[in-house]
Amino acid sequence: MTTAFDPVDLAGLPLANRIVMAPMTRNRATGGGGVPTDSMVAYYAQRAGAGLIVTEATQTAVVGQGYPFTPGLHTPAQVAGWRRVTDAVHEAGGRIFAQLWHGGRIGHPVLLPDGLIPVGPSPVAADGQVFTEDGLKDCVTPRELTDAEIHETVDGFAAAARNALEAGFDGVEIHGANGYLVHQFLAPNSNRRTDAWGGDAERRNRFAVAVTRAVAEAVGAHRTGLRLSPGNPFNGIDEPDPEAQYTALLQAVEPLGLAYLHVCDVPDRELLARLRKHFTGTFVLNPASGDRPTGLADLGLIEDGSADLLAFGRQFLANPDLPRRLALGGPFNTPDRASFYGGDDSGYLDYPALDD
């Protein structure tokens, strides 16, 4: 029987176990310019016992920044900063992928330079508010991307993927979930276009497929993962028929031979099982677990074949040595919600390991 603690080959990349550190925005790139800090180097190195680390969402372009103090992968300084992170993780024996992200309509002009405003597939504001340095602000109506700008945005994902390899990452994950730009193109309530990038499910899929293909061509499909959250309403998304939408999407990306598919926050396990039939590669699951963190109760998802790898969020945030704690059955540190986003090293670097 396969367990979460068994090694696995991820498209030629050997992983020590099947426990993934899920991408988690922490808003700690506080030194300016979206450059990773010393604290971020230490944070990721502490968690190198994961079979695979997937970084926090990392913007592919200036206009893609959705929150304050998030890192990027579109400038030389950012690449150099991430190189320090990847070197530290590799020295500690870990593997790490960069999550490539564009916030789309989730953002605010106060986060952007030179009078920029957030962009999206259509000029439809998300129903909600966004965090800024000045507190919560209502989401604004984004500027609709032109056809030429859509192609430029696709190229931006590919360029960021190449930058990720230059920075020493083992691969990249495309953030196509949780209501950000790729997801906004998939959903009919945020994508109301009538051109080649919107309308029916196939045309709404076109941007996600184009980004995935461009990234795979830039760095190799074996270094490319894709994260999706079918039917997740986060950030104002409404998908009335996620099965049809994502069946078509998975059928389109399946021939690319991606390193993995990462699915998160899908409480309907029957839908998940049906969708998985359309992707034959490595399947990473970040299960919907409600108010409790993903933990011991979810390890059976590896054993029963529901997933090939299992992603943990809050538990990895609070337990830098999570694989060891899971193997021992605990105990586990309690995540401090007050320090999840932004701040100093409290609630970031000071969670103790068992040896401490």
Alpha-carbon distance 157 to 163, whole Å?
Answer: 10
- In order, the DSSP letters of 35-98 are PPPHHHHHHHHHTTTSSEEEEEEEESSGGG--STT--BSSSHHHHHHHHHHHHHHHHTT--EEE
Q: Record the tokens describing residue 284, joined without a space.
A: 């990473």
The catalytic position among 44, 180, 260, 348 is 180
Alpha-carbon distance 113 to 131, whole Å?
Answer: 17
- Residue 23: half-sphere exposure toward Cβ, Cα within 13 Å: 30
Strand 19-21 vs strand 13-15: parallel, antiparallel, or unpaired?
A: unpaired
Does the bond joining 331 to the residue before it have cis omega, within 30 degrees of 0? yes
- In order, the DSSP letters of 256-316 are G--SEEEEES---HHHHHHHHTT--SEEEEE---TTSPS-GGGTHHHHTTS-SEEEESHHH
Helix (H) or strand (E) run with residue 251 in it: helix 242-253
| Active site (annotated) includes residue 180 | yes
Alpha-carbon distance 97 to 52, whole Å?
Answer: 7
Known catalytic residues?
180
